[in-house]
Amino acid sequence: MLLEKLKKSNYTVVLTGAGMSTESGLPDFRSQSGGLWQKEDPSRIASTDALNRNVEKFFEFYRHRVLGLKDCKPHIGHEILAKWEKDGIIQSIITQNVDGFHTEAGSKNVAELHGTLQKVHCQSCGKQYRNDTYINKQYECECGGKLRPSVVLFGEMLPEDALFQAAEESEKAELFIVLGSSLSVTPANQFPLIAKQNGAYLVIVNMEPTELDIYADMTIHNRKIGSLLKELDHQLKE
Ligand code: APR
């Protein structure tokens, strides 16, 4: 069924969440087993408030996540999506992930809604640094300002260019596939609905049920994304 849709669609957009990177070794946020937000309150650790009032914990939390990134890399699922873009099977990716793995795997048309953990920048002057500064526990800019990851923190606006790109792609989608997201965060969880309102066939692939399953034309639960993409890629070659 999904294979037929992939073959027939002239414009396929994929929205990915943290479930896309768990098979790379990165934890997601809301899984019962091991989700980051099972242990930390995001509003107290991943927010502008935390950066200003809980700064040591903020630095430590994000240094731990940057170190985690260094030990992990894109998995076969990221590589298949990059190949499918090259082969014209999918046209773009909208991602909530900040690991940069889609780009690292070779995907070109990627809207990073929540920014990237690959870079940090000065909260005062905006100067950008590589995220190695966090690994070396350098949290201060030359100007004396605080360095922060270039991710969207709770309470912040999303980057306009990524939002615009995601909306444009969602409106153009004939087939819209969600991979590994609980779809519990706005505005990222609006794009499947925008696509559906514009006539797209909506597929949600997620280990657990999501908040938008009722709107999906097809849901695939209890399947690991990596193995599903491998199976589909194999069938597409037949
Ligand atoms: N295959 C399929 N599904 C998976 C896999 C896998 N290998 N691993 C995890 N999942 C599913 C989980 O069941 C979970 O429902 O992926 C989903 C990930 O959901 P969340 O942890 O809520 O992550 P996400 O939807 O990306 O969160 C959105 O919330 O905190 C913010 O900024 C953060 O970008 C994040 C946003």
- Tens digits of per-residue pLDDT, 29-76? 999 888 999 988 998 999 999 999 989 999 999 999 999 999 999 999
- Tens digits of per-residue pLDDT, 150-204? 999 999 999 999 999 999 999 999 999 999 999 999 999 999 999 999 999 999 9
Helix/strand/coil for 217:
coil
* Residue 36: φ, ψ to 5°: -55, -40
Cut 0.90: pTM above it:
yes
User: Ligand 1 pocket check: which of 26, 31, 44, 227 to mutate, most ligand atoms within 8 Å of Cβ?
Assistant: 31
Q: In the sheet that 128-130 helps form, which strands lie side by side, from edge to edge?
A: 128-130, 115-122, 147-151
Q: Does the annotation count 78 as an active-site position?
A: no
- Tens digits of per-residue pLDDT, 94-108? 999 999 999 999 999
Instruction: For residues 125-144, give the mean pLDDT.
Output: 96
In whole angstroms, give the CA distance from residue 90 to residue 109. 10
Of ligand 1's atoms, which has the minimum distance to the CA of residue 180? 16
Rg (CA), the chain: 18
